[in-house]
Amino acid sequence: MDILAAQKFAHSLVSEKPVLSALLLALGTLSLARLVFQTLSVLCQTFILPGANLSKFGARKGAWAVVTGASDGIGKEFSFQLAKAGFNVLLVARNKALLDSTAFEIQNMYSGTSTRVHTIDFSNHDEDAYNGFKAAVEGLDIGVLVNNVGKSHTMPTYFADTPEDEINDIATINVHATLRVTRAVLPGMVQRKRGLILNIGSFSGAVPSPMLATYSGTKAFLSTFSSALGEELGQHNIVVEHLNTYFVVSKMSKIRRASVMVPTPGVYVRSVLSKIGLGCGASYSGRPNTSTPYWTHAMLDYGMTVIGMPSVFIRYTHELHRSIRKRALAKAAREEKGK
């Protein structure tokens, strides 16, 4: 009966209001065509099209790459792969021994590559330390900046229960350090009319994440900052890319085993450097200067955008973090009992 009623309504609409029915048909057709076009665009960018050649940013031409948080994980992998691509590398973090070890490995692996290390604790608002960093990059032909240093919560925790020092560290490292490092490197890029800035983001910046509220907020900042900065710097031939990242094997994620959804740092960084300038999974969502290059992350990003309903994903994330916190507390209790 409902089907018959719908058919009668459609017939009467066409016969009595042909202009309105034609308009609705045109809008439906355009919406479908847009979905098909954008879906094909996401698939082509993720699986077929190559990104910009790194020589555009000075690879094999004596240029430097600056990588923060370079002593481990994704930052360390960016250092190696950018050295392989033909950049000299300035490694930046707070642990000098680890930086020296990484620099030594790079020089042994890629002869002719120059490396430098610079130690700084990004959790401090230390003006002298930032002046020291500014002096370290002054005069270098910097083609690439990777803002990788970051901090998350020890475990999922409600904001009201989060220690104040943890809140301060996360905001200082994820926001203040990114601003200060970028500001120190940027004038040289503008002068040379060349540069690539990669800001390592997180899905938690796109999906507000209960029990990681401070971290989630800082990553949302990074997305907005990248879009604004990218528009400013396009006139100077500088590419700004916010990398919307799902889980990667790392100390921060506390995931030790790779899977289809969780790549190793090496696999993830290769996907990033092979897709520079392409939005991939983020190209459907209309977020300027954002890219989701790793293929399963790209498909997840695309699917979430098509589905919409952000409140559903927020509630799912809340339940997930409740479960993670419960397991983390149980593990801590077992370890305490075993002492």
- Residue 180 CA to residue 183 CA, distance in Å, equals 5
Q: Which residues pair with 89 in a beta bridge?
A: 65, 115
Phi (first) and psi of residue 73, to 5 degrees: 60, -135
- Residue 83 CA to residue 117 CA, distance in Å, equals 14
Phi (first) and psi of residue 252, to 5 degrees: -65, -45
202 is in an annotated binding site: yes
The DSSP secondary-structure symbol of 263 reads -
Helix locations, the chain, DSSP H:
2-16, 18-47, 73-85, 96-109, 127-137, 164-171, 177-192, 203-206, 213-233, 265-274, 295-307, 310-337
**CB within 8 Å of 8: residues ≥ 6 apart:** none
Strand, helix or coil at 335?
A: helix
- Residue 310 CA to residue 121 CA, distance in Å, equals 36
Phi (first) and psi of residue 222, to 5 degrees: -60, -40
Segment (H or E) for 196: strand 195-200
Largest Cα–Cα separation, the chain: 82
Q: Which residues pair with 146 in a beta bridge?
A: 67, 198
Which entry of 110, 130, 158, 215 is annotated as an active-site residue? Answer: 215
**Sign of the Cα pseudo-torsion (172, 304, 258, 147, in order):** negative
Instruction: Respond yes or no: is residue 268 known to be catalytic.
Output: no
Q: Are 227 and 289 in contact (CB under 8 A)?
A: yes
Of the candidates 99, 199, 196, which has an alpha carbon nearest to the alpha carbon of residue 149?
199
Binding residues: 202
Binding residues for substrate: 202
* Residues annotated as part of the active site: 215
